[in-house]
Chain A
Amino acid sequence: MKAVLIEGLLVALVGAGLSLAANYLSPRGLKLSRNYFPPPPAVSNAPPTSLAPGGGLTTNLPALSNALALRLQARGLSLLDSNQVIHLFHDPAYQQEQVIFIDARDDPAYQAGHIPGAYQLDYYRPEPYLPAVLQAAQFARQIVIYCNGGDCEDSEFAATLLAPAVPPGTLGVYGGGFTEWVTNGLPVEIGGRKSGVFKNAPSPSTAPR
């Protein structure tokens, strides 16, 4: 019995060391010291009244959206609904990059389909994407960040990551996310940014002007 316990202890020690080494060497490894899930500041229970430029979402929100709106408000961010996002997508300023979209999902999800023209910013591995995103964000008057929607928090965290580096009041999180975008039958770009390949070919009424 004692021999088994000693053997188990050895397996545990060697295994723990090798496992941490494997994580360190893996290109997909996690950074142990990074706080991937920064907590939101304390929020009040009052429902938000003004959430984003253009207004729209007030007290008729489903519970999830309301909770998200409160969290975003506490972070100094605004929640955007699909009407606002579609309006921004069609805004001429989108072509001039005064309005930019940022996709906070990982690379496979982005390559499989994203909002046309959206920049990529994988929140969990942001380094390769940050230079392009920060450069674009400096000149934007409105930044729309999205992930899958629903209970996906990646857009919220990505917005928190960007907040110190962009002009205040420019960041908005699209709560419905990519799932809602697709459900609404809006155009989806496949592959890299501005690849020109669309899943739903943009019609004159849906294409960014």
Chain B
Amino acid sequence: MSLDAPTKRKLADLAGVLGRWLLGGLFIYMGLNKALHPVDFLKLVRQYELVAHPYLLNSIAAALPWFEVFCGLLLVAGVAVRGAALMLALMLVPFSLVVLDRALGIAATQGIPFCSVKFDCGCGTGEVLICRKLVENTLLLLLALWLLCGVGTRFALRFRLQNPRGGPNRGAP
């Protein structure tokens, strides 16, 4: 039995809704874990040695967790979905790269296989095996990119900020 085109679109959109909720829920969870323990997160961010200036370091550690929660809430509620997905995608790429870089350093220093490297990357889920984390981040990035295509319009409060009534994905519940 083959599905007609409208049914396929409907199923894809429903899958998009689930993806939106999954991605949003994960970022709310990971963001809150960090936001509720900002000092721990500050120490972890410092270990990456990305910025030296205290004000910049503190700002990153203070704002990033809440920003993740904010984007997660937007996705779950279905507000500015593509803008939120774009932000998450733009965060996931550098996050994954710095985590990869740090893991390569740990593997070289300790002389252990890359996939045996386990550390708290500051991702909000405690200590993780690096290979698992990179796969997880890649999947989340793909999910964010998929949402950028405009799927998951059902059960959305305001899928698009601009012209919410126009276009095929107007976000009606």
Contacts and interface: CB of A to CB of B under 8 A. Distances in A.
Interface in B52-89: 54-55, 58-59, 61-67, 70-71, 74, 80, 82-84, 86-87
A33 interface: yes
B113 to A, nearest CB: 23
Interface string A22-46: 1100101111111111000000000
Contacts of B67: 15-16, 19
B62 A23 contact: yes
Nearest to B64: A19
Given A7-B161, A106-B39, A18 B55 contact: no
A69 B6 CA distance: 71
Interface residues of A, number: 32
B66 A8 contact: no
A6 interface: yes
Contacts of A125: 39
Interface in A107-147: 124-125
A88 to B, nearest CB: 28
B39 A3 contact: no
A124 B35 contact: no
A11 B89 CA distance: 13
A58 B64 CA distance: 44
B62 A11 contact: no
B36 interface: yes
A7 B59 contact: no
A30 B87 contact: no
Of residues A8, A9, A20, A36, which shows the largest number of chain B Cβ atoms within 10 Å of its Cβ? A8
Contacts of A12: 87
Interface of B: 35-39, 42, 46, 54-55, 58-59, 61-67, 70-71, 74, 80, 82-84, 86-87, 90, 148, 160-163
